[in-house]
């Protein structure tokens, strides 16, 4: 079902029909025709439309934030920050895309340059947790690079998809270059296989990523996959515990814990674990669970009822396996998909909160005997998206960062995506990169052009 269901109440607010085969074909055809012309416009002209999109996003920030909150439940203040981040992403690529896409001479081979040319129309399969940001972080560089895009958004954020389609059109991008498709999951394979689709960008679960990778691989099409994560937040004995615990609350409970790069496993050296846990508990107690439309709310509902059931099940299984429940862990009564901020202590490998991705407001403290064990525990996961390390010695933190298996490691800071640097993971967290120059070039053809002296 493609519908807007208010997570705060469980009420279905709007339903949408899936697109018929003829409509899918028409939209793919329009995108291919538009991209065939768009690709030849100079990069400066393509990038010049991005500030218009940024301006539209900012002009409608309040309305877009309320739409995000209505569709997936994050507090409206967080939703407004998401809209602003989208605008900043557009600003960044407007300024830097032309230089990133410029021909690059190969110094070792005179007469040789590398050209970066668009691949074509890219299918973007995007999740609900950041319904505008996840799309725009892909879309801005993709359009600037000369590609077109078809969006298959999550079924519970259809109005966010429609809003983006409208904004891109109003910013002046060619008609049809970016289009939304309302399709059921079972119909995605046919879209991937369509010869007018040149590549696939997916942000979502590891399970869905494996399916899409197989479908795209069978069609020999480029993929960028940003999948799940079980990010470690490593607190060493010399860390500033007050600051680490304060950031830990934000790193875990932003967006109700529904992010691939939320910190999930808080791995703390045993000598400071009790002190950290008390500070963490105090920060959790200050969170306000409530209506996400209220300005004072800092923890909203989960996006869907099945997500709440899943996190509750993981908490219960972890406690049954020996974890200590410090706060939360009780399913609230009443309407909506609310779940309290929950802290599990003395979590260890073999427990659900350690082994599985926890996509909700539950944090797990894992106690490590020393630094070496903390790093080993951080790497004891099938995921490899982000990680953070907390220590008073920045040089030591930088050295330890190289020992952690992840696409990004932040020292004395929480993991966050940034338009200026590449973002992505390893292992079951996916492959390829978004953002930065590397992300810009993922969906380009790096063409070698060598010109020999006619003589």
Residue positions annotated with a catalytic role: 226, 260
Length of the chain: 455
SS3 category, 36: helix
Contact (Cβ atoms closer than 8 angstroms) between residue 110 and residue 56:
no
CA–CA distance, 401 with 410 (Å, rounded to integer) = 8
**DSSP letters along 338-368, please?**
----EEEES--TTSHHHHS---SSEEEEEEE
DSSP 151: E
Q: Which two tokens stand for residue 360?
A: 């909700």
> Who contacts 211 (Cβ-Cβ below 8 Å, separation ≥6)?
none
CA–CA distance, 169 with 125 (Å, rounded to integer) = 20
Q: Is 189 exposed, middle or buried (0-12, 13-18, 19+ CB in 10 A)?
A: middle
CA–CA distance, 454 with 161 (Å, rounded to integer) = 53
Contact (Cβ atoms closer than 8 angstroms) between residue 317 and residue 351:
yes
Contact (Cβ atoms closer than 8 angstroms) between residue 304 and residue 5:
yes
Enclosing H/E stretch for 202: strand 197-203
């Amino acid at each position: 079902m493609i519908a807007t269901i208010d997570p705060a109440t469980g009420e279905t607010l709007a339903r949408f029909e899936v697109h018929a085969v003829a409509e899918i074909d028409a939209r793919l055809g329009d995108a291919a025709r538009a991209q065939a012309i768009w690709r030849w416009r100079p990069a400066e002209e393509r990038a010049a439309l991005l500030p218009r999109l940024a301006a539209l996003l900012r002009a409608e920030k309040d309305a877009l934030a309320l739409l995000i909150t209505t569709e997936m439940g994050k507090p409206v203040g967080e939703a407004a920050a998401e809209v602003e981040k989208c605008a900043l992403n557009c600003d960044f690529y407007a300024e830097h895309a032309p230089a990133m896409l410029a021909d690059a001479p190969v110094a070792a081979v005179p007469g040789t340059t590398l050209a970066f040319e668009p691949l074509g129309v890219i299918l973007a399969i995007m999740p609900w947790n950041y319904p505008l940001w996840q799309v725009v972080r892909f879309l801005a560089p993709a359009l600037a690079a000369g590609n077109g895009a078809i969006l298959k958004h999550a079924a519970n954020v259809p109005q966010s998809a429609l809003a983006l389609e409208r904004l891109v059109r109003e910013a002046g991008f060619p008609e049809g270059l970016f289009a939304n498709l309302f399709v059921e999951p079972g119909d995605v394979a046919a879209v991937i296989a369509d010869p007018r689709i040149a590549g696939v960008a997916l942000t979502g679960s590891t399970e869905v990523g494996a399916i899409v990778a197989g479908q795209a691989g069978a069609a020999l099409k480029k993929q960028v996959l940003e999948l799940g994560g079980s990010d470690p937040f490593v607190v060493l004995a010399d860390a500033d515990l007050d600051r680490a615990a304060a950031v830990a609350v934000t790193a875990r409970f932003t967006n109700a814990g529904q992010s691939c790069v939320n910190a999930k496993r808080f791995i703390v050296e045993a000598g400071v674990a009790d002190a950290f846990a008390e500070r963490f508990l105090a920060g959790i107690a200050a969170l306000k669970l409530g209506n996400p439309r209220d300005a004072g709310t800092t923890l909203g509902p989960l996006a869907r009822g099945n997500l709440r059931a899943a996190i509750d099940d993981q908490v219960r299984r972890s406690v049954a396996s020996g974890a200590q429940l410090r706060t939360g862990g009780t399913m609230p009564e009443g309407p909506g998909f609310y779940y309290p901020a929950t802290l599990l202590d003395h979590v260890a490998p073999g427990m659900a909160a350690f082994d599985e991705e926890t996509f909700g407001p539950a944090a797990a403290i894992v106690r490590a005997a020393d630094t070496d064990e903390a790093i080993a525990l951080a790497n004891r996961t099938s995921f490899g998206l982000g990680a953070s390390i907390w220590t008073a010695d920045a040089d030591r933190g930088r050295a330890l960062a190289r020992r952690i298996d992840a696409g990004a490691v932040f020292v004395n800071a929480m993991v966050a995506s940034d338009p200026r640097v590449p973002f992505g993971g390893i292992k079951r967290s996916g492959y390829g990169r978004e953002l930065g120059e590397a992300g810009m070039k993922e969906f380009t053809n790096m063409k070698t052009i060598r010109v020999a002296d006619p003589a």
